[in-house]
A and B are shown apart, each in its own frame.
Chain A
C-alpha cells in the first residue's frame, strides 16, 4: 500500500513511525484517505496503517501481517 495523504490536526504536525515488518504508526492525523480516495476519520490518538495489503480493515492494520512469511 502506498503512503496515504492525510490532513493534519490544527497546529500539529503529523508524525509517521514505520514499524519493521509491521504497519506505519500515524499520530496527529484527522483523516486518512485510502487507495480509493475514501476518507476515514481518525478517532484515536494514534492509528496503524496497513503496509502489507492483507488487512480486512483497510486502510488500518488488523494484525494480519503476522501470518505472512518474512
Chain B
C-alpha cells in the first residue's frame, strides 16, 4: 500500500514528511505540526474531519503494515510519536466529552451498579445509530452495497489486528478469553478461514480490489475514526479496559446485522462468496459477544474493578462512532450521491 492522497493541510504535511524523511533525514517539525493543528477551525468536528482522521490513520498504520513508500524505521520516530500524541489527546478528549453522559447513566443501571453485562446492554439499547443493516437488506442499490463493502474493508482487511496488541497487556482469565476470540478470528488453525482472508474473498467475488488498504481513499473521515479509535485504545496499555469494552460492543452489535446484510447481498444477486463472510459472522459473533462481555470484560473488571468505567467508555466509543459512520453513509445515499467505487484502488 502507498500513502493515500492528503485531504487537507495536516495530512499533506504528514504525508510529505513520511514520504521524504528517508532522503531528507529530517522527519517532521512537531512545532509546525502543532501550529497546523491549531489552525483547524474551532468549529471543526474532529470525529468526522477528513484531514484530522486521515492524518491519525497514517500515523497508526506505521504500526500495522506500513506503506511501500515510507521508511519502516519511522514507526518509532519520536517526533512522529509526539505529533500522534497531539492528535490522540484531542481525539480522546472529544470521545470522553461525547460519551460521558451515556456512560454515567449506564453506571446507574443494574443492581448496585455492578452488573456489567446489563450496563453494556443498556448502552447498546440507548446509543444505537441509524438502521444501516435493514437498509442494506431491503433497499440498497448495487452501487450502494459496493460502496459499503469497500468502505468497510479499511477495517475488515485487518480485522482483529488492533486487539492482538492488547494480549500482552492482560493477565490470567481475560487474556485467555481474548486469545480464544482471536484464535477464532484468525481462522482457528485454517488459513482459508482467517476472517481477513474471508473478507478479501468477498471483495474479490464482488469485483472489488481485495488488496490491503485498497479502498482507504474512499473512506470518509467518520469511517477512518471507527478504525482510529481501535488503534487509540489498543495501542495504549492504560486504555486496555476501554479496548476490551469496544470489542464487546462491536461483537454484540454484529450477528443480527450480518444476517441482514447477507440477505441484502443475496437480494442483489451477489455471488455466495460475498455473503459467506457475513454468514460466518452471524454464528461467530453470537459466540464472541458472550465471550467478550462475560469472560473477557466481566473477568477483567473482577480482576481490576477500577477498569469498570473504562470498559463502558470503550463500549460507548464503539457505539457512538459506528453511529456517526452509518449516518454518514445513509445521508450520502439519501442525497443520491454514491461516491465512485474503486476510485482509490
Contact = CB atoms under 8 A, between A and B. Distances in A.
A61 to B, nearest CB: 4
Q: Is the interface of A mostly helix, strand, loop or mixed?
A: loop
B154 to A, nearest CB: 25
Contact of A44 (B282, B284, B289): B284
B286 A23 contact: yes
Interface size class of B (residues with CB under 8 A): 20 to 34
B283 A61 contact: yes
Contacts of A20: 117
Contact of A57 (B283, B291, B294): B283
A47 interface: yes
Contact of B188 (A44, A57, A64, A66): A44
Contacts of A22: 290
A63 interface: yes
Interface residues of A, number: 20
Contact of A23 (B184, B193, B256, B290): B290
A43 B100 CA distance: 40
A19 B183 CA distance: 21
A47 B259 CA distance: 18
B291 A25 contact: yes
A46 B283 contact: no
B183 A48 contact: no
A46 B180 contact: yes
B184 A46 contact: yes
B243 to A, nearest CB: 21
Interface string A53-70: 000110011111010000
Interface in A13-70: 17, 19-20, 22-23, 25, 43-48, 56-57, 60-64, 66
Contacts of B193: 43
Contacts of B183: 45
A45 B286 contact: no
Interface in B267-286: 282-286
| Candidate in A19, A44, A57 with the most chain B CB atoms within 10 angstroms | A44
A19 B256 contact: no
B184 A45 contact: yes
A56 B283 CA distance: 10
B294 A19 contact: yes
B294 A64 contact: no
Contact of A46 (B117, B255, B259, B291): B291
A19 B290 contact: yes
A34 to B, nearest CB: 14
Nearest to B124: A66
A10 to B, nearest CB: 16
B287 interface: yes
B256 A66 contact: yes
B294 A45 contact: no
Nearest to B294: A19
A1 B183 CA distance: 28
Given A19-B294, A61-B283, 10 more contacts: A17-B295, A22-B290, A23-B286, A23-B287, A25-B290, A43-B188, A43-B193, A48-B287, A62-B259, A64-B256
Interface of B: 117, 180, 183-184, 188, 193, 255-256, 259, 282-287, 289-291, 294-295
23 contacts: A19-B294, A22-B290, A23-B287, A25-B291, A43-B188, A43-B193, A44-B184, A44-B188, A44-B284, A45-B183, A45-B188, A46-B180, A46-B287, A47-B287, A48-B290, A56-B259, A57-B283, A57-B286, A61-B290, A62-B286, A63-B256, A63-B282, A66-B256
